[in-house]
Amino acid sequence: MGTDGHVEGLLPFSAALGLVLLLEFGDKTQLAVIVLAATAVAPVSVFLGASLALVLMVTLSVVIGTTLAKFLRKIWLRFIASGLFVAVGVYLILESFLL
């Protein structure tokens, strides 16, 4: 850990890699890309389009996270992230019962 309290080295990289690989496995996005690649004439185009979308989404997430970290304490970021995660989960559960 650095002198300013931030984690340094390969830990943030390996944590992000592991979490994204684990949490995105079997995700709707992955399934959509599988279907697109299976039905597309040019699967390389599907790969490039999906890759660009993921890079843009992750870039936006990093910018938002970095900006929020400048204004909010770490504990509040965790509360907000946890609350949003639970809210989305409850929404998806309710949506599944209403269909």
pLDDT at residue 4, as a whole number: 57
Q: Is 81 domain-assigned? A: no
pLDDT at residue 64, rounded to an integer: 92
pTM value > 0.85: no
Please count the structural domains in the chain: 1
pLDDT greater than 80 at residue 11: yes
Residues in CB range of 30: below 8 A, 6 or more apart: 24
Query: pLDDT band for position 2 (50/70/90)?
Result: low
Q: Which of 23, 20, 92, 1 is nearest to 58 (CA)?
A: 20
pLDDT tens digits for 12-65?
888 888 888 888 777 788 888 999 999 989 999 999 999 999 899 999 999 998
Which residue range is the domain that position 66 belongs to?
10-71
In a domain, 14, yes or no: yes
Cβ(29)–Cβ(39) under 8 Å?
no
Q: Does residue 84 lie within any of the structural domains?
A: no
To 10 degrees, what angle do helices 74-98 and 43-71 make? Answer: 130
pLDDT in tens, 56-96: 999 999 999 899 989 999 899 889 989 999 999 999 899 88
Phi, psi of 18 (to 5 degrees): -65, -45
